[in-house]
Amino acid sequence: MRDAYLIAMNELRVTIRNPFWAVSSLFQPIIYLLLFGPLLNGVAASRGLPGGDNAVQFFAPGLLVMNALFAAGFEGFTLRDKLDSGFIERLRVTPISRLALTMGFILQSAINLIIQSIALIVCGAFFGLHFDIGGSILLVLLIVLIGITMSSISFRLALIIREGGILAGIVNTFVLPAMILSGIMLPISFGPPIIQFIAKFDPFLYAVDASRALINGAIGDPSVWMAFAIFIALSVITLGVFIRGMREAVA
Amino acid sequence: MTDSIIHTEKLCKRFAGPKKEVVEAVRDLDLDVAKGEIFGLLGPNGAGKTTTMRMLCTLLSPSGGKATITGFDLARQPHEIRRHIGYVGQKGGMEHVASGRENLMLQAQLYRMSKDEARRRSNELIERLKLTAFADRKTETYSGGQRRIFDLASGVIHSPQLLFLDEPSTGLDPQSRARVWEEAKVLHEQGTTVFLTTHYLEEADALCDRVAIVDQGRIAAIGSPAELKKQIAGDIITLGYEDETRAKAAFQLLEGQRVILEKHDLGTSLQLYVDRGDEALPEILRIVGQGNYPAKSVSLTRPSLDDVFLKLTGRSLRGDGGQS
């Protein structure tokens, strides 16, 4: 496991050194807070949002889920790049175990998300977000599970797809509808029954519900255990698939 | 052979081609490389050199046959083998946004060195290879030559018994190439076995104790560069022509001449193997001259490894098969 840690630290150091990293990864959520938040305030005033009329309280926890969806969803690019540059090949000739190599990439993705999530909660606080400490810690844990799920899928795809553009297309095709149907932007209850029905099959819907409950410290909310159950299962399955894929691709 | 550091028996690799046909990249390879040798695989691109090397350094599993590397079985003990070998691939595989030193540190730690050990060993290599000036810059700013020396450093960070170099000087300027050769020789003197692939004849000639000439997945000949060249007795006369038709016509004129031991039509030039070039040349020029196909250019040379390759395979290494 020391090897996995070494790989993860190496990746993180490289990521953090990129001057655009901090800006680019938090740019999108902050823009949402800045520009979409006030719009949502209008909605809250005229129509009311579930959980009160504070738009930030409704919106900010969902941003954490959205960030996990996109940031981890595009992790595959990192791996593709490392495969193309010969970096992975170089590591494969060292005594590092294949599992450690795989877990190194998952670990760096998870640590990355933890940092970003904490930064987002702090940002949210500036926009008037109230957060419960205990609930937030659980929320970050849930975000990590979502991250493992998304990055495993993304990494697995990167092993098969050599073209970056195609990879981006595939990821977007799945991430975008999953995001909208999760009710991050607007409550799904605003939509017609058909949308509400389809959304029930979107695992991220439960994650977003849980994120709102957790930020308020409502740990006992049924959405919380449901989201954890779903994403523990999904992360185990997708991670298994990625590990197997890695074993085949880089024997 | 028990004292060989690489031993293979009927090693082969088959791939599925684009039309699902079976491509035999490496066929029944029997190879023995002794400890301390610099051994080269020479051949054009697509000959199976890199596939062979990737199998030997545990990156690719063979389709058949067996191999023992540094005393361990390739199929059953790849993990043991990895401790004892170093590998420098064609792409190098440096992390672009990390410095050369950081890359070395990571590599050293993956070979189970402690942080202090890793730092000491990295510093030692950086100093010895004179890399200090740019060791702390990001590797993406390096020139091809600088990067390649760092690749080399990363390949020997754990002082392996056996070092694999895949096309070590491809794409390098002559100066950097000389440095790579110099370092390979230093390692050789220190007792490291070096196994390399190349499509540069000069490289095989200048560096290798023994060379295996590979073509279409098979070894066509094996021996020291001098031994291989000795296979071609005598001298080589090359006649150049304006076009292929004239060359072909001259080729036919020379049919049945007893002074010519062997001849090859290379398009616009003809290559003739003769016993004694100084005596055969006037005779040959007289024949093509009288037949109204005088040569545009003439050269008389001693055989090179290229000629060995040509003789064995009927194709030139420099021409179609040289660069990718």
Q: Are B200 and B169 in contact (CB under 8 A)?
A: yes
Whole-number average pLDDT of chain B: 87
Q: What does the domain layout of chain B look like in residue ranges?
A: 4-224, 233-302
In contact, A108 and A11? CB cutoff 8 Å: yes
Dihedral pair phi/psi, residue A97, rounded to 5°: -75, 150
Compute how many other C-beta atoms are within 10 angstroms of the C-beta atom of residue B27: 17
- Which residues 6+ apart lie within 8 Å of B13 measured at CB? B24, B25, B26, B48, B51, B52, B55, B60, B62, B63
- Smallest Cβ–Cβ distance between A93 and the set B87, B92, B109 belongs to B87
- Token output for B156: 């020997």
For residue B197, list its beta bridge partners: B41, B166
Report pLDDT digits (tens) over B253-270: 888 888 888 888 888 889
Q: What is the pLDDT of residues B205-237, one digit of tens each?
A: 889 999 998 888 888 889 998 888 777 667 888
CA distance A129 to A143: 18
The pair of structure tokens assigned to B104 is 């070395």
Q: Name which of A80, A85, A93, A99 to mutate to probe chain B: the one with the most chain B Cβ atoms within 10 A of its Cβ.
A: A93
- Number of Cβ within 10 Å of residue A44's Cβ equals 19
pLDDT in tens, B53-88: 999 999 988 999 999 999 999 999 999 999 999 999
Q: Identify the DSSP state of B138.
A: B
Q: Which CATH architecture has domain B233-302?
A: 2-Layer Sandwich (3.30)
Task: Give the separation between CA A200 and CA A198, rounded to whole angstroms.
Answer: 5
- What are the distances in angstroms from CA A161 to CA A158, A167, A238, B15, B79? 5, 6, 17, 19, 28
Taking alpha carbons only, the member of A83, A34, A29 closest to residue A61 is: A29
Q: Write the residue in B61, B106, B109 that is nearest to A251 by C-beta.
A: B61
CB pair distance less than 8 Å for A93 and B83:
no
Contact A125, A43 (CB under 8 A): no
The kind and range of the H/E element at A208 are helix A203-215
Chain A nearest C-alpha distance from B84 (Å): 9
Same fold, B4-224 and B233-302: no
Q: What is the mean pLDDT of chain A?
A: 87
Which residue from A13, A14, A90 is facing B93, i.e. has the nearest CB? A90
Pairing of strands B38-42, B64-69: unpaired
Q: For residue B323, what pLDDT band results from cuts at 50, 70 and 90? A: very low
Ordered alpha helix ranges (H), B61-214: 78-84, 100-110, 115-128, 144-155, 174-189, 201-207
Q: Copy the structure tokens of residue A92.
A: 């494969």
- Contact by Cβ (8 Å): B247, B241: yes
Range A12-34 average pLDDT: 76
Residue A242's alpha-carbon distances to A99, A164, A238, in angstroms, are 10, 18, 6
Predicted local distance difference test score (pLDDT) of residue B321: 38
Closest approach of chain B CAs to the CA of A102, in angstroms?
14
Lowest mean pLDDT among A5-19, A100-114, A191-205: A5-19
Residue B169 is predicted with a pLDDT of 85
Q: Is B93's CB within 8 Å of A88's CB?
A: yes
Structural contact between residues A115 and A68, judged by C-beta atoms closer than 8 angstroms: no
pLDDT band at B31 (very low <50, low <70, confident <90, very high): very high
pLDDT in tens, A166-212: 988 998 898 988 988 998 888 888 888 888 888 889 999 999 999 99
Given a contact cutoff of 8 angstroms between Cβ atoms, the answer to whether B56 and B31 are in contact is no
First to last CA, chain A: 19
Task: Please tell me the distance from the alpha carbon of residue A78 to that of residue A154, in angstroms, as a whole number.
Answer: 10
Q: Which two tokens stand for residue A42?
A: 């209008």
CA A12/CA B3 separation, integer angstroms: 44
**Domain-wise residue ranges, chain A:** 2-249
ipTM for the whole predicted complex goes beyond 0.85: no
Task: Using the CB atoms, write b or e for B311-323: b if 16+ within 10 Å.
Answer: bbbeebbbeebee
Q: Where are the beta strands (DSSP E) in chain B?
A: 4-16, 22-34, 38-42, 64-69, 72-73, 85-88, 162-166, 193-198, 210-215, 218-223, 235-240, 260-265, 269-274, 297-301
* Topology at the third CATH level for domain B4-224: Rossmann fold (3.40.50)
Quote the CA–CA distance of A2 and B92 in Å, as a whole number.
Answer: 24
Residue tagged 């930030």 (tokens): A56
- The reported pLDDT for the residue numbered A31 is 86
